[in-house]
Structure 1
Amino acid sequence: MPRALVIGGGVAGPAAALLLARDGWDVHVHEAHAEPDPYAGLFLNVATNGLAVLELLGLRERLLSDGHRAGRMVMWSRTGKELGAVPNGPAREPERGSVIVRRSWLHQVIREGAQAAGIATTYGSRLVSIDQDAHGVRATFADGTVAEGDLLVGADGIGSPTRHHIDPSAPEPRYSGLLGVGGFARVPGLAPTPETQHFVFGARSFFGYLVRTDGTAYWFANVTAPDRGATLTVDDLRALHSDDPYPVPQILAATTDELRPYPIDDLVGVRRWSRGRVVAVGDAVHATSPSAGQGASLALEDAAVLARLLREHDSLTDAFAAYQAARQPRTEAVVRYARAIDGQKRVTTSRLGVAIRDAMMPLFLRRAAADTRNDWLYNHTVG
């Protein structure tokens, strides 16, 4: 039985492990963190195309059991004027809309699926080097342990050591000019937002929120910041959004958790996705900002396509070449799409610029609910 080493226990790693195991690989997952963190991260969008891969994995309904269906995104101006609504899924098919889940829940669902298939995961395994030859590949970890296999799949994120092994000259992530931050809050009297997520083009920052049926508000802000290392406190956010419409100030007033702002980066233009017995997936070779709502779904697509092509081709070289050819045009198109949205989120200090944006956006959004031009994001199939 051929042996596969999977580096990374987030989304793409366990998904790839599960699919490879179905095809007869002996798979072992190595995760750098010491243990699963049930509170890690905030929340994310699993798009229609990502849900299709979870269906393939047999995990879709499990994920949806604790998700917020959000097939509709409503845009608001800083004065509280509704600018319009756009589908978060294929146009005119709200029943196929995307879902918002806590990141940790998505990780748990996929991890438990892999565990149920008998796939072992070793935690505290931080990859430090990769060596390979005609006979196999060896991964060395920070604690001195070594794992050997016939194939190594690097699902180790935007700072991927696997990417640097494949191509030491690969491009570095690019900062978007936005800091991301978010949290959870409960505001008395704030009604649930079924099937909907709301976005506010605030006077000094972009804000998004939804409200679960139990009254919990999930919220995030994208703050324009030239310095990717800038600090941001909840008091800073309250000041930035103090003039914004209800319920933005109220959500922030009810937020008590410590904020953990992070720079929003993306990654594009990686020329080599594989080398010998080593291949990279997900954010390791193409990272999109959250603005497209596609990061997790692209990772799931990668896992499914890679597993299929390994099954269809006799050699790793041919399978890896077909994988990159199949995936790179789509993933880079999504990154470019997200960059365009990031540009709309960056706040201008020009009053005229804001006035023009708020005047023009309703014109663009008026027919958005029936506009099929973004269906390519959601209707993609993995073959």
Structure 2
Amino acid sequence: MARSGSDTVKVIIIGGGVGGPILALALQRAGIESEVFEAREAEAEERGSWLNFQANGMDALRSIDAAGPLEDAGYEVDTMSFVNGKGRSLGQLPMAARRPDGLTSRMLSRDALARGLRTLAEERGVTMHYGRKFETARLDPAGVCAVFDDGSEARGDLLVGADGVWSKVRTLIDPHAAIPRYVPVLNTGGFIPGLTVDVPEKEFRMQFGTRCFFAWMPTPDGGTVWFANPPRRHEPERGALEAIDDASWRALLHELIGQDHGPAHEIIDAAPGPVEAWATYDLPTVAHWHDGGRMVLLGDAAHAVAPSAGQGASMALEDAVTLARCLRDVPGGVSGLPVALARYEELRRGRTEKIVAHGHRSANDKAAGPVGRVIRDAMLPVIFRRASRDGGASMMWLQGSHVEFEERVAF
């Protein structure tokens, strides 16, 4: 529903990663003007390696006709299998029960996901600004003014913080907002062309190793996707991980893998360099998602989730479509913004906080100590057997959700 006259709303979106461009596309379909501002330059690569882009995220893209560039990207994932350090099977699970629409999870690089979404947004006429680092915002009777590090400004009626786990918009909404919580595992990984591993097609093998969680998956083109979660009990100081060189990371991974059974040592040696690692953070709860009418959070800025849940990108996309629906359907245009933001939070908070809690539990299982490992390895087969009996239905709360963009939001 396009707005006109005094009802016209303009949205300023801070963050051009995953959620920002899709929010702009959803708003475009709703007839609402927006601009996206990204701190990095257009050619900068996304931080991180590969991610499990789950089916509910693709569903959110489909709901606004934005899935096309990604439906065949990366590699389909159908099954997760689990082994311990000795190579003994702990169980196997489908990623989830089959959705009626046939959508499945896909393993793809974080950079390919973000770049594909930005390219689509640009092709459809979304205004994307790069190299514009957000500093602060001023509120006045006319709306909100975003201020950038080069002294430039942008005015609108609503400022959306899609600016990640260290969101500046979040601290403007609530200067006392909880800081991100460190999750005691690091992340590293990537893609190795020309290396094959003995795992069935579309299966991701997850190893709860003696000292390190390690995972690998074959790809149809003869390569291997892999990741590892080296445990790190205490949060690293700023810059400490970046100071560790490729050879040191490889040596550490070899040491942690030790005598664990499987191809991990071969993968570490074959991985294209430089091997790097980064810290993980989540946000258990953010007290204030919006300020009552002029600023609101989206994606990791509101509910960062550990990568072990495989839901960070998908949650941002569900947020984007839901927020656009609320802004489209709320009566009153600008005057209705407080109601729209409250409804958006009401629709999203419960689901996202449940997923954050799920991801935190999964991440801590990977960092279990000697006693915890014994208990974990004894319990996981029981848990996996129970979960596999229903053909993945128990996982559908994660991947089976559907956001219907055309459905009107009730207020």
TM interval, short-chain normalised = over 0.9
Counterpart Cα distance in 2 of 1:176 and 1:219? 20
- What amino acid sits opposite 1:288 in the alignment? V
Q: Is the 8 A contact 2:199 2:205 kept in 1?
A: no
Query: Which structure 2 residues correspond to residues 269-348 of structure 1 after superposition, within 5 A?
Result: 269-275=285-291, 276-314=293-331, 315-348=336-369
State the Cα distance separating 1:361 from its structure 2 match.
1.8
Take 1:116 and 1:146, find their aligned partners in 2: how far apart are those partners? 25
Q: Mind listing any 5+ residue stretches in structure 1 that lack a counterpart?
A: none
* Letter of the structure 2 residue corresponding to residue 176 of structure 1: V
Query: Whole-Å Cα distance in 2 between the matches of residues 120 and 382 of structure 1?
Result: 25
The residue aligned with 2:232 is 225
Equivalent residue, structure 1, for 2:188: 181
Q: 1:45-99 CA deviation, whole Å, 9 max, x = no partner?
A: 1112111011123232421322211121111111111211122223698954311
Query: Structure 1 residues 189 and 42 mapped into 2: Cα distance closer, same or farther (>3 Å)?
Result: closer
Q: What letter corresponds to residue 308 of structure 1 in structure 2?
A: R
Distance 1:93 1:234 in 2: 43
Distance 1:2 1:178 in 2: 42
Matches within 5 A, 1:1-383: 1-38=8-45, 40-90=47-97, 95-186=102-193, 188-191=195-198, 193-229=200-236, 231=241, 233-275=249-291, 276-314=293-331, 315-350=336-371, 353-371=372-390, 372-383=393-404
Tell me the SS of whatever aligns to 2:394.
coil
Residues 89 and 96 in structure 1, CA contact (< 8 A), matched pair in contact too: no
Whether the aligned pair in 1 keeps the contact of 2:63 and 2:403 (CA below 8 Å) is no
CA distance in 2, matches of 1:60, 1:377: 19
- Alpha-carbon spacing, 1:279–1:42, altered in 2? closer, same or farther (3 Å): same
Q: C-alpha separation between the residues in 1 aligned to 2:229 and 2:360? A: 13
The 1:91–1:366 alpha-carbon spacing in structure 2 relative to 1, beyond 3 Å, is: farther
On the 8 A contact 2:38/2:132 being kept in 1, the answer is yes
> Does the 8 Å CA contact 1:191/1:215 hold for their aligned counterparts?
no
* Percent identity over paired residues: 36
Equivalent pair of 1:40/1:104 in contact (CA under 8 Å): yes
CA contact (8 A) 2:217 2:225 kept: yes
CA RMSD after TM alignment: 2.0
More off after superposition, 121-130 vs 109-118:
109-118
Confirm or deny: 8 A CA contact 1:17 1:28 kept in the other structure: yes
Tell me how far 1:187 sits from its aligned partner: 5.8
Residues 181 and 301 from structure 1, CA distance in 2 versus in 1: closer, same or farther, beyond 3 angstroms? same
Unaligned runs of 5+ in 2: 1-7, 405-411
Asked if the contact 2:137–2:147 (Cα under 8 Å) also holds between the matched residues in 1, the reply is: yes
- Residue 217 of structure 2 aligns to a residue whose secondary structure is strand
Counterparts of 1:131 and 1:223, CA distance in 2? 42
Q: Give secondary structure in 2 for the equivalent of 1:373.
A: helix
Amino acid across the alignment from 2:365:
Q
Counterpart code for 2:320? A
Q: Which has the larger displacement, 71-80 or 55-64?
A: 55-64
Deviates more, 1:339-348 or 1:93-102: 93-102
Size of the aligned set, in residue pairs, is 381
Could you tell me which amino acid in structure 2 is paired with residue 355 of structure 1?
A: V
Q: CA shift at 1:195, angstroms?
A: 1.9
Q: 1:189 to 1:56 in 2, by over 3 A?
A: closer
Inter-partner Cα distance in structure 1 for 2:27 and 2:68: 22
Q: Secondary structure at the match of 2:303?
A: coil
